[in-house]
Chains A and B, each alone.
Chain A
Amino acid sequence: MEAKHDVLIVGAGCAGMRAAIEAFDAGADVALLSKIHPVRSHSGAAEGGINAALGNASEDDPEKHAFDTVKGSDYLGDQDAIEVLCNEAPEDVYQLEHWGAVFSRTEDGRIAQRPFGAAGEPRTAYAADITGHVLVHVLYEQVMKRNIQTYEEYFAWQLVINDDRCQGVIAWDLLNGGLKTIGAKTVILATGGAGRLYVGTTNAYACTGDGMTMALRAGVPLKDMEMMQFHPTTLAPTGILITEGTRGEGAYLLNSEGERFLKRYAPNAMELASRDVISRAEQTEIDEGRGVDGNVLLDMRHLGAEKIIERLHGTRELAMTYAGVDPIHEPIPVRPGAHYHMGGVDTDLDGRTELEGLYAAGECACVSVHGANRLGGNALMETITYGKRAGRHAADWALTHTTIEVPESVEADAEHDLKLLLDRSDGERPWSIRNELAETMHENFGVFRKEDQMREQGEIVSGLRERYEHIVVDDKGDVFNNDLTQALELGFLLELAQCMVVCGLARKESRGAHARPYDYPDRDDDNYLMHTLVRWVADAPVLDWKPVKMTKWKPMERTY
């Protein structure tokens, strides 16, 4: 064992760093561990903003925020978790401001808030269109202030389970090579999403679902894994994100006929309907021949140069660099792209999983506040509020429990498995498997889902997993061997894909991001107002269900 800590946090984006700060302030010995430097985390790519009922732009209160979130989730969100989020959000945002977050401001000097999809009030606090970037940096400043130990460029591979408790992490040290074991009384997974399952995704290369699969392999269930959100405005072919803030500021979505087609899908909210609704509308327009080279058009010319430069400067730079289009003069071609996993490691309101000592927060967790569809601006808020809660609880628990024991056999087994992979000299390189996985997931498990396609995808993934057993890595060295870590990431993704297919097939209804227009076009509250739960048993996913927690809001028809 290299070192021991009270609280070890895997992943150093917004959720991980917020958890680390909270646990440190609670008096615990804390360390962060991340495969990339904290400020490289994908939280930094969040653009539009963070939702809290501050009431700076209109009369607003946490209850309205909660209702919008419940409705947005297509009633699959746990209402107790949503209430916690919405009640604690304002104070948590003020905290960020006091740490120095560079928020955009109203005329009277308060934090500015803009309208966002499916929100009844302008509730999204923002820093131009680089909100995530600003939050990642302000959190890292606080991490530096506290001098919190950070294992940078450590690739977490396995959880240490001993005595029915999670007691640490086994990680590959990227810069120096070798497996290192970091013992911990509590481990918080904050590894983000798994967008790399799809070929067109807004997610970074780092978003490979590491924490979800590590938990799954440790016997912890994942929840709502079929719920992958497709963001309506991403650039072809890479999936680079164009913020919902564009529509919050008033941009239009047009089809090839120049029509604001959302009037036929969401006549009241139009471009500010929820993401699942807009992604389906776009895909329908494209499928029915009213697209433009497989895209629709995001038009913000009428906003004027001044507003675009002041509030959407980063977006303009992205469009100019990656689409060759200046949005001041031309509309941007956009299409739906995989964006956010509503599902993840099943946790309670304090981030606890089924396994003692193991916590999860942020996108890798499923509390669940997003249910079947997340509202724009709620993800950053979740990382902060539930990162904080997980950090606090993990610290409290660690400070009252005193032992860490990592049996030598655990480390020896990991060494053995890794050696098998590194010693193999003949076989397939992982990249073709990775590409096939991402292309087929997009084709067969995308915006619209069909029974036979999902079944086919299950078989494809099984076949890919078979091939994965025989992969070979080119790089056998110790120094910055990300050929090895990328191969291990693919292993994480393959198991998640299999879980998603199983959950998708089981949910025989259309709810939020899970749209089955061909066989089950309607929501079925009688049979499926439940979370899917999936466990890994004997190298295969096993499905289970879990009731949704309801407090105040009865399911209603969902229109925008």
Chain B
Amino acid sequence: MEVKLKIWRYDAYSGDRELRDYELEAPEWACLLDVLDLIKDQQDGTLAYRKSCRMMICGSCGMRMDGRAILACKERMKPIVDRGHVPVISAMGNMPIVKDLVVDMDPFWSKIRRMKPWLEPGYDEVLERERIVSQQQMNAIQKEALCIMCGCCVSECNSMESDPEFFGPAALAKGFRFVGDTRDQASIERLEDYNDEHGIWDCTRCYFCNERCPKGVDPRDAIAKLGAESVKEGIDRDMGAKHAKWFVKSAETTGWLRETELVPKTQGIVAAVKQTKFAIGLAKKGKVPPPIPPHVAADVGESRALRQLVREQGREGAQGIIQGERGLARIEHTDAGGARRDAPEVTPGEEPPKAEG
């Protein structure tokens, strides 16, 4: 098949960027990585990109296609060629570019290391046999253990774009891999640590990491689980934790979110007082219901019953986090054949739907 693509080249010496066009003949089974190989072999040996396993497990070939992070070895070219689309290939985001499609992964790895990413079993000597752990307990960290450290989630992370010091989705998913491991004896210390500035509560929940992870790790789910575990363990000093707690409390008591109390409960009385003027403005426009008497939902019993059920089922903390839909779609299958697998709402080559309004 005749493949056309554009690649953002980056000159390591001058820092100049240039979007170059490429055309070549490739076999129908080719993935993006195979196409890059053909270009490097037959057109330009100076094209730089990382690669190794070409089977989605080594994590070397993270890059962007049409602005979204992908593994080059995972993207089949035929559907793209069939649509007549010319994809644009560029380096991953949120990491400095070294050359062409190669980024400096040092900032990525320093954040991984910051998580103290090794098991703390609480003893030094190896016991005579393995520890007894149920499959169910192992499953609790199954998705996080799939992470191949390719950097696709970090590339797409909106929080990191505004705060480069944010721990980021890959490091936090690695953190949950230990917090969620029943064998780890340092979970409380970890949660204390991960609750620091630039930590779990700085995630904006944009879900790009879940969306773009090529392995179904769903890092945002891991961050949610870390948050839930923190609250369960009483580690709630961050405004993010207080905010989340108030949602629960508010829904449980009255069935509604009581916004008037949300600010003082989240940010504290002092911060709330400072916002009095703003609150009065809102109230004048009828945006704030009067706090007294509290507005109790008609069916508040249902919301209370739900909360009770969560308690009875022991779904406090990480156990209560609903897993990302994409993770479930990935393993979904139908009797009719052909699973619906991680189809992004915009596949490369398609025009994204127009935003409404």
A residues bordering B, Cβ < 8 Å? 36-37, 39-42, 44-45, 54, 91, 93-95, 97-100, 102-105, 107-112, 127-128, 130, 132-134, 137-138, 141-142, 144-145, 175, 204-206, 237-238, 240-241, 305, 309, 313-314, 317-318, 320-322, 326, 328-330, 429, 431, 473-475, 477, 479-483
The docked-state distance in angstroms from the alpha carbon of A321 to that of B54 is 11
Distance between B282 CB and nearest chain A CB, rounded to angstroms: 50
Q: Given A109-B132, A142-B118, A309-B331, decide whether A42 and B138 contact each other with a Cβ distance below 8 A.
A: no
- Asked whether A97 lies within 8 Å of B149 as measured between CB atoms, the reply is no
Bound CA–CA A48/B213 (angstroms): 24
Judged by a CB distance under 8 angstroms, whether B59 is at the interface is yes
Contacts of A130 in B (CB 8 A): 57, 145-146
Q: Nearest chain A CB to B122's CB is how many angstroms away?
A: 11
A127 to chain B, nearest CB (A): 8
B339 at the binding interface (Cβ < 8 Å): yes
CB–CB B121/A98 < 8 A = yes
Interface residues of B (CB under 8 A from A): 12-13, 27, 29, 40-42, 44-46, 48, 50-60, 74, 76, 98-100, 102, 104-105, 112-113, 117-119, 121, 126-135, 138, 141-142, 145-149, 178, 181, 183-184, 331, 333, 337-339, 341
Contact: A326 with B41, CB < 8 Å?
A: no
Instruction: Enumerate chain B residues within 8 angstroms of A204, measured Cβ to Cβ.
Output: 52-54, 58
Write the nearest CB–CB distance from A475 to chain B, whole angstroms: 4
How many A-B contacts if CB must be within 8 Å?
A: 172
A-B contact pairs, 13 of them (CB 8 A): A39-B58, A42-B53, A44-B58, A94-B130, A102-B142, A107-B135, A109-B132, A130-B146, A206-B52, A237-B27, A328-B339, A475-B46, A477-B46
Q: How far is the CA of A36 from the CA of B60 in the complex (A)?
A: 9
Contact B42 A431 (CB under 8 A): yes
In the complex, which of the residues B46, B130, B146 contacts A97, with contact meaning CB atoms closer than 8 Å?
B130
Decide if B58 touches A41 in the complex (CB within 8 Å).
yes
Tell me which residues across on chain A come within 8 A of B133, comparing CB atoms.
Answer: 105, 109
Interface centre among B99, B113, B183 (most CB of A within 10 A): B99
Contact A94 B126 (CB under 8 A): yes
The answer to whether A321 touches B135, judged by C-beta atoms less than 8 angstroms apart, is no
A95 B126 Cβ-Cβ under 8 A: yes
- Which chain A residue shows the least CB distance to B178? A100
Are B98 and A175 neighbours in the complex by a CB distance under 8 Å?
yes
Q: How far is the CA of A196 from the CA of B262 in the complex (A)?
A: 61
Among B41, B52, B178, which residue has its beta carbon within 8 angstroms of that of A429? Answer: B41
Chain A: minimal CB distance from B210 (Å): 17
Closest to A317 in B: B56
Distance (whole angstroms) from the CB of A343 to the closest CB of chain B: 22
Q: How far is the CA of A142 from the CA of B60 in the complex (A)?
A: 21
Is B57 touching A321 in the complex (CB atoms < 8 A)? no
A175 to B118, CA, bound (A): 27
Q: Are A102 and B141 in contact (CB under 8 A)?
A: yes
The CA of A2 and the CA of B98, in the complex, are separated in Å by: 23
The answer on a CB contact under 8 Å between B119 and A141 is yes
Within the complex, the shortest CB–CB distance from A209 to chain B, in Å, comes to: 15
Given contacts A142-B118, A326-B339, A475-B45, whether A44 and B99 have CB atoms under 8 Å apart is no
Is the CB–CB distance between B331 and A99 below 8 Å? no
A residues less than 8 Å from B58 (CB atoms)? 36, 39-42, 44-45, 204
